[in-house]
Amino acid sequence: MTQTANTSSVSYFVKLAGTLLLISVVVAGLLGLVNYITAGRIAAINQEKTAASMQEVLPATSYEEVEYTGSDALVKTVYAASEGGYVVEVTPSGFGGEIDMVVGIAPDGTVSGVSIISMSETSGLGANAAKESFRAQFAGTSGTLAVSKDGGEIDALTGATITSRAVTSGVNAALAAAADLG
Amino acid sequence: MNFKKQFKDGLLTQNPVLVQLLGMCSTMAITTTLFNGIGMGVAVTFILICSNVVISLLRKVIPSKIRIAAYIVVIAGFVTMVDLLMQAFLPALSESLGIFIPLIVVNCIILGRAEAFASKNSVAASAVDGICQGIGYTVVLIVMCVVREFLGSGTFGGGLLGPEGAGIRILPEQFPAMMMILPVGGFLTLGVLIAVVQYFLAKDKKGADET
C-alpha cells in the first residue's frame, strides 16, 4: 500500500486537495451551464407571475413603479396603474414564512382584488388563501380590516387564523400605503 | 449483480425510510398531498441515480480521506441542477416543495447510499441501486401522502386531480382531522407504517428460519 506509506508527504496532501479542487471545478462548471440555460426562464416565469397577478387585481394597460415613502415594512413596492389606482406588493408573515402578494386599490380607495404570488403556508390549510372564495372577501372593502374572530368582516380560513390574519394585515398595509399617496 | 434482490431490498427488506430510517425529515414534511409525494420521490430518485453513478465512477480516484467532502460536492451539484431545472420547467412543483428541494443535499439516503453502496460497487450495480432505493423511497412517500391526505383533508390526489387541483373529495369537509397534515400527523403515520412493515418483516424472517 503506497497510500499508507506516504500519508504525511507533501505530495499526498497536494493529491487530496487537487482531487477535491478538480471535482469542485467540474461541478461548478456544470452548475454554471445549467444556470445559464435556466436563469432567463426563471426570471421570465417570476415576472410573468407578478404581471398576471397585477392584471388580475387591477386591470390596466401599464403600471409604473412609484416611490413609497411610508415606513410600513410590509409594503415592498407600489405601482401606479395607468387608469388610476395602485397595485401594492406586500409581504406579510404567515405561518410558513413570508406571503408574497399583490393588492389592487381602485381610484376610489377600495380594494379591487387580492392575489397571492407565492407563499409557503401549510397545504390544505393556510394554502387555501389562494382560493378565489377567500380572496373575493376583500374586494370592495376599505379602511382597516380584521378577521371575524377579531370582530372584523373577513371570514378566516381556519380556527387558528394565522394565514388569514397575515393576508388581512397585508391588505391593510396596502390600503394605508395607497391612502398616503392619495 | 442481482437485480431482483436489489429491487426487493429497496422496496422492502432494506427500504431506505422504513428499515434504514433515512430521510425522515423530508418524508414527514412534504407528504401532505399526492402531488408533493410523487414530485419529491422522482426528484430524489433522479439525484440518487446520478450521484450513485458518478460516485461509483470516481470510487477509485477519490482518496478515502476526503471522500465525504467529494460526495457532498457531487450531490450538492446535482441537487442544485434539479432545483434550477424544476424552477424553470415545473414552477408549480418547485413552489409546492419549496425549501425541501435544496435540503435534498443533506438527505441521508443519498449520502448513505453513496457511502454504503456506490463507493464499493460497479457503475451498473450502483445505478440499479439508485433506481431501487429511489422507488422504495417514492412508494413510502406516496403511501404516506395518500393516508395523510385522506385523513387530514379528506381528499385524494391533491395537487393533481379535482377542481383547482384540490383533489377529489372523499370525506365531507367537516370530518377530516386537520392534525394529520400537520407535523404530528407525519410522525403518527410514519410510526404506524414502520411498525406494520417491521412486524411483517420479522414474521417473514421467523417463518424462513423455521422452514
Residue B63's pLDDT is what?
Answer: 87
Start-end of H helices in chain B? 3-8, 24-30, 34-57, 67-89, 91-97, 108-113, 123-152, 183-210
CA gap A6, A96 in Å, rounded: 53
| Residue B185 vs residues A64, B21, B28: alpha-carbon distances, Å | 46, 18, 8
Greater confidence, A178 or B48?
A: B48
Q: Nearest CB to B73: which of A27, A38, A122? A: A27
Residue B132's pLDDT is what?
Answer: 92
pLDDT digits (tens, 9 = 90+) for A71-114: 788 888 888 888 888 888 888 988 878 888 889 888 888 888 88
Residue B42 corresponds to which amino acid? V
CA gap A181, B5 in Å, rounded: 70
Burial A124-149 (b: 16+ CB within 10 A, else e): bbbbbbbeeebbebbeebeeebebee
- pLDDT tops 60 at residue A133: yes
pLDDT digits (tens, 9 = 90+) for B151-189: 888 888 777 776 666 678 887 877 778 788 888 899 999
Residue A134's pLDDT is what?
Answer: 84
- pLDDT tops 80 at residue A160: no
| Average pLDDT, rounded, for chain B | 86
Residue A2's pLDDT is what?
Answer: 47
| Residue B100 vs residues A67, B23, B67: alpha-carbon distances, Å | 36, 11, 25
The highest-confidence range among A127-136, B18-27, B51-60, by mean pLDDT, is B51-60
- pLDDT tops 60 at residue A3: no
Residue A23's pLDDT is what?
Answer: 92
Residue B128's pLDDT is what?
Answer: 92
pLDDT digits (tens, 9 = 90+) for B9-44: 888 888 888 888 888 888 888 888 888 888 889 999
Residue A32's pLDDT is what?
Answer: 94
Residues of A in contact with B98 (CB under 8 A): 120
Residue A30's pLDDT is what?
Answer: 93
- Does A62 lie at the interface with B, CB-CB under 8 angstroms? no
Q: CB under 8 Å to A115, separation ≥6 — which residues? A: A53, A54, A56, A57, A101, A102, A135
Return the domain boundaries, chain B. 3-146
Residues of B in contact with A33 (CB under 8 A): none
Q: CB under 8 Å to A148, separation ≥6 — which residues? A: A154, A155, A156
- Cβ contacts below 8 Å, chain A against chain B, sum to 73
Say if residues A112 and A92 touch (Cβ distance below 8 Å): no
